[in-house]
């Protein structure tokens, strides 16, 4: 019996076998999202990772929005899927004997942090993954919150005071429009920075490149404001940040901490901590693997 984990992110598909005892990501396979037929690329990836084995469970973590009950995903970065793609039924068609479970990417990250990351010792927490977009997942009483449709924890669309940038969702002033990796890169390039990706920007900011530092500071302030509001709403005292932008160093973390100190003033928030994830960029895929492994009983 074989379990598979699949991550669907803005940058591509990643898959692995969580039932294997690996200490690194050397056995994880990744492919970019191409315009022609994203399911064909995803299908080939899953078959390659399965390697002809009898697949009995598949866990899927996908960027939102999703409809968890219907097994449908509509990630904005996959043009052909924006109106909805039945990923669960398509995967079951590929592996007819398999149980297929779907969750939001942020929920998967929260599951992974709770199982073997920074939130293992607490019952209530918030996890953010700062990549091209922002994924969020909340844990309450030791259980990951999923919400009515599976999209709970989507902090990327929390409104941030003082910012009015248009967001891909159609609104304005969302956290993702300010601190999502693509938005941060876009703003930095307008200031004269010459890089292309959020990974490059984080490295440049950590190295002291001024346009990159300014972009990271701006993102850090917005993140601190959003975290202060979310922590008050959810009554959490631990927030975990992962993903490439979290590696931007003091340029991101110092203004973030300043904003939290200035705005998280409720007595219940005096112990609020914001810490880096020990899972690096593996949290979503690891959480999808947990979905698959738990389905095996």
Question: What domains lie within the chain, and their CATH numbers?
Answer: 2-107+283-295 (3.30.420.40), 120-276 (3.30.420.40)
The arithmetic mean of pLDDT across residues 1-20, rounded, is 90
Q: Is the sign of the CA dihedral 248, 251, 254, 257 positive or negative?
A: negative
d(CA 38, CA 141): 37
- On whether the CB atoms of residues 105 and 60 are closer than 8 A, the answer is no
For 161-195, b/e burial (b = at least 16 CB within 10 A) is eebebebbeeeebbbbbbbbbbbbbebbeeeebeb
Instruction: Answer yes or no: pTM beyond 0.85.
Output: yes
Question: Residue 24 above 60 pLDDT?
Answer: no
Tens digits of per-residue pLDDT, 103-115?
A: 999 999 999 999 9
Tens digits of per-residue pLDDT, 69-124?
A: 999 999 999 999 999 999 999 999 999 999 999 999 999 999 999 999 999 999 99
């Amino acid at each position: 019996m074989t379990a598979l984990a699949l991550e669907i992110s803005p940058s591509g598909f990643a898959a692995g076998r969580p039932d294997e005892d690996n200490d690194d990501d050397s056995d994880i396979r990744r492919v970019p999202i191409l315009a022609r037929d994203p399911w064909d690329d995803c299908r080939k990836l899953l078959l390659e990772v399965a390697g002809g084995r009898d697949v009995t469970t598949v866990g899927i973590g996908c960027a939102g929005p999703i409809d968890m009950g219907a097994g449908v995903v509509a990630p904005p970065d996959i043009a052909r899927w924006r109106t909805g793609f039945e990923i669960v039924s398509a995967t079951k068609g590929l592996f007819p004997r398999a149980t297929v479970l779907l969750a939001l990417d942020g929920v998967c990250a929260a599951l992974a942090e709770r199982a073997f990351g920074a939130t293992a010792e607490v019952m209530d927490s918030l996890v953010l993954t700062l990549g091209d977009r922002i994924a969020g997942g909340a844990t309450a009483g030791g259980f990951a919150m999923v919400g009515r449709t599976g999209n709970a924890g989507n902090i990327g669309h929390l409104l941030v005071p003082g910012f009015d940038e248009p967001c891909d969702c159609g609104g304005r002033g969302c956290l993702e429009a300010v601190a999502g990796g693509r938005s941060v890169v876009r703003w930095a390039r307008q200031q004269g920075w010459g890089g292309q990706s959020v990974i490059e920007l984080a490295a440049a900011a950590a190295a002291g490149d001024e346009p990159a530092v300014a972009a990271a500071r701006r993102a850090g302030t917005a993140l601190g404001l959003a975290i202060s509001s979310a922590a008050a709403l959810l009554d959490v005292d631990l927030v975990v940040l992962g993903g490439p932008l979290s590696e931007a160093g003091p340029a991101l973390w110092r203004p973030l901490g300043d904003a939290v100190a200035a705005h998280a003033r409720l007595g219940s928030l005096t112990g609020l901590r914001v810490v880096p994830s020990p899972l690096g960029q593996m949290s979503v895929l690891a959480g999808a693997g947990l979905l698959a492994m738990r389905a095996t009983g």
